[in-house]
Each structure stands twice: as C-alpha cells, then as structure tokens.
Amino acid sequence: MAKTFNATKYQILTKIVIPSNLSTFINSLKVNIGLSLVGVISGEFLVSKAGLGYLIVYGGQVFKLDLVMTSVIILGIVSGLMYLAVLLLEKFIIKTKKFK
C-alpha cells in the first residue's frame, strides 16, 4: 500500500517494517542474552587461561566447589543485569511511543 502512495524504500523501512518488528527484535534480545554468555563460557572452557569458564574448569579439576559455585553465581548475576538492561530499553522505547 505504501508503494501505491509512492513511498521510498527508506520510508517503508522506517515507518512500516521496523515498528512492526520491534517487539520481535526485543524478544530475541531477551532470549539471546543468556545464550551469548553460554557461548563465551564454553569458549573459555576450551582455550582460555583466565576468565569465569577457566575458573569453573579449574575448580572442578582441583575439587574446589566454592570456586565453581562463585563463578556460576557471578554468571547468573551478570546475565540478570543484562536482561534487566533489555527490559529497561523496552520500557523506554514503549514510553516514547515513537514506534506505536
């Protein structure tokens, strides 16, 4: 319909496509926050000499459960804070009503 009114591709993108897909984009961010940390930690399991993934592996090898659990708790806190940041971004975008 926008093309029948001679809208440009940029206008179609900014006025129709982005506003209609914004909720999908934000929900994808919410899901992928945790998955990004899983990727980082699994990479640290394999090749790192430092980091939380290394501490988890090292703590498991030398039977230091406190080291392992501290690393897991830190990961939980970091992922919770990142999720909260995405929620705040979503509330800010909804509050501006620019995309409604």
Residue 58 belongs to domain spanning: 38-94
Tokens describing residue 96: 């501006």
pLDDT of residue 73: 93
Residue 17 covered by a domain: no
pLDDT of residue 44: 84
Based on the structure, what is the number of domains in the chain? 1
pLDDT of residue 1: 83
Residue 2 covered by a domain: no
Residue 88 covered by a domain: yes
**Structure-derived torsion over alpha carbons of residues 64, 40, 34, 67, reported in degrees to the nearest 10:** 10
Residue 81 covered by a domain: yes
Tens digits of residue pLDDT in 19-29: 888 888 889 99
Cα 62 from chain centroid (whole Å): 32
Q: Which residues of the chain have pLDDT under 70?
A: 97-100
pLDDT of residue 50: 83
Q: What is the CA radius of gyration of the chain?
A: 21
Residue 10 covered by a domain: no
**Structure-derived torsion over alpha carbons of residues 34, 35, 37, 41, reported in degrees to the nearest 10:** 140
User: 19 and 11 in contact (C-beta within 8 Å)?
Assistant: no
